[in-house]
């Protein structure tokens, strides 16, 4: 999920979207309407004066496309019409009052997250797909829509006001790592493999990593935890290096999954893969679609 205020920006991963030809010398903003598709934020400090006075080349490119006022409202209930692409989006309430303008590398996931957290403020959305999803270009797209709204209404959208965290992504609840046994000196009444099988099948997402979720012990495990955190999904972690409470787990898990390395990520009872597969799915948007 993504959120942005006058003091913070969020950029999420997005899959590849349809990209019409646009000069690489001029960033483009494609406004979206009725398309059928196939979460540490950078800091941004803006004042109202900065927003109104700022004039960048991106605004010239935006002027050739639809403005915020010209962009069609899409009912959020029509979730399939919201693209999982990079860009700028504007959230409106039931009275069609603009509540928040944000940017995201996965607009569909960000809007879905807002709908879950503040459903009373999310009735429809306007979407502009940014062809070059670099931070600077996304920021300029956001500033363009914010500036337009301020020019027309004389005020900042409520969700973008300084100190208003309604649409800001909240830090996920910290969970403890799973311990499969009471301790290595306690005799198990259930085989370790059966304990693993139960955990995998009873949990939506399980990551067997080196170290804990709060202190991963290898770069691959750290990457996996970071990706899962960014998706805002509820997931379990098991430390395969914990020989006190998970004795023998590394070898048992290799035979259980037929996968020789760690970390190992299971989704809905099936092995998804390791860090490389998870990273690839995260970058092309498949992971967000699967988890949401």
Arithmetic mean of pLDDT over the chain: 80
Beta strands 264-267 and 98-104 are: unpaired
Please indicate whether residue 81 or residue 255 has the higher confidence score (pLDDT): 255
Q: Give the integer Cα–Cα distance in Å for 202 and 288.
A: 21
Residue 65: which pLDDT band, with cuts at 50, 70 and 90? low
CA dihedral 265, 267, 270, 276 (to 10 degrees): -40
Which domains does the chain carry?
Answer: 73-160 (3.40.1440.10), 192-291 (3.40.30.10)
Q: Give the mean model confidence (pLDDT) for residues 136-141.
A: 88
pLDDT at 241 over 90: yes
Full-model pTM: 0.45
pLDDT in tens, 143-200: 999 999 999 999 999 999 988 988 886 655 568 999 999 999 999 999 999 999 999 9
Q: Which of 89, 95, 107, 92 is nearest to 146 (CA)?
A: 89
CA dihedral 255, 261, 265, 269 (to 10 degrees): -10
**Predicted pLDDT at 173:** 57
pLDDT in tens, 12-45: 333 444 444 444 444 445 444 443 333 333 333 3
- Determine what percent of the chain falls in helix, strand and coil, rounding each to the nearest 5: 35, 15, 50
Q: Which of 241, 243, 224 is nearest to 233 (CA)?
A: 224
Please indicate whether residue 223 or residue 77 has the higher confidence score (pLDDT): 223
């Amino acid at each position: 999920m993504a959120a942005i205020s006058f003091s913070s920006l969020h950029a999420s991963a997005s899959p590849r979207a349809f990209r019409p030809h646009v000069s690489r010398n001029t960033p483009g903003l494609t406004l979206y309407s009725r398309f059928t598709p196939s979460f540490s934020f950078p800091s941004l400090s803006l004042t109202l004066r900065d927003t109104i006075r700022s004039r960048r080349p991106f605004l010239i490119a935006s002027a050739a496309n639809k403005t915020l006022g010209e962009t069609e409202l899409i009912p959020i209930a029509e979730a399939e019409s919201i693209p999982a692409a990079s860009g700028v989006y504007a959230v409106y309430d039931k009275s069609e009052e603009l509540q928040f303008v944000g940017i995201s590398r996965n607009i569909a996931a960000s809007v879905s997250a807002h709908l879950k957290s503040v459903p009373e403020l999310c009735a429809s959305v306007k979407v502009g797909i940014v062809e070059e999803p670099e931070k600077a270009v996304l920021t300029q797209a956001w500033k363009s829509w914010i500036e337009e709204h301020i020019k027309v209404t004389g005020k900042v959208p409520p969700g973008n006001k300084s100190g208003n965290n309604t649409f800001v992504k909240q830090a996920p609840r910290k969970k403890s790592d799973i311990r499969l046994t009471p301790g290595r000196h306690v005799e198990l009444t259930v085989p370790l493999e059966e304990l693993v099988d139960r955990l995998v099948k009873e949990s939506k997402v399980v990551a067997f990593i080196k170290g804990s979720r709060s202190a991963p012990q290898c770069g691959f495990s750290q990457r996996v935890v970071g990706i899962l955190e960014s998706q805002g999904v509820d997931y379990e972690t098991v430390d395969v290096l914990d020989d006190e409470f998970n004795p023998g787990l590394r070898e048992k898990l290799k035979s259980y999954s037929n996968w020789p390395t760690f970390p190992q990520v299971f989704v809905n009872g099936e092995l998804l893969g390791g860090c490389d597969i998870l990273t690839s799915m995260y970058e092309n948007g498949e992971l967000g679609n699967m988890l949401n």
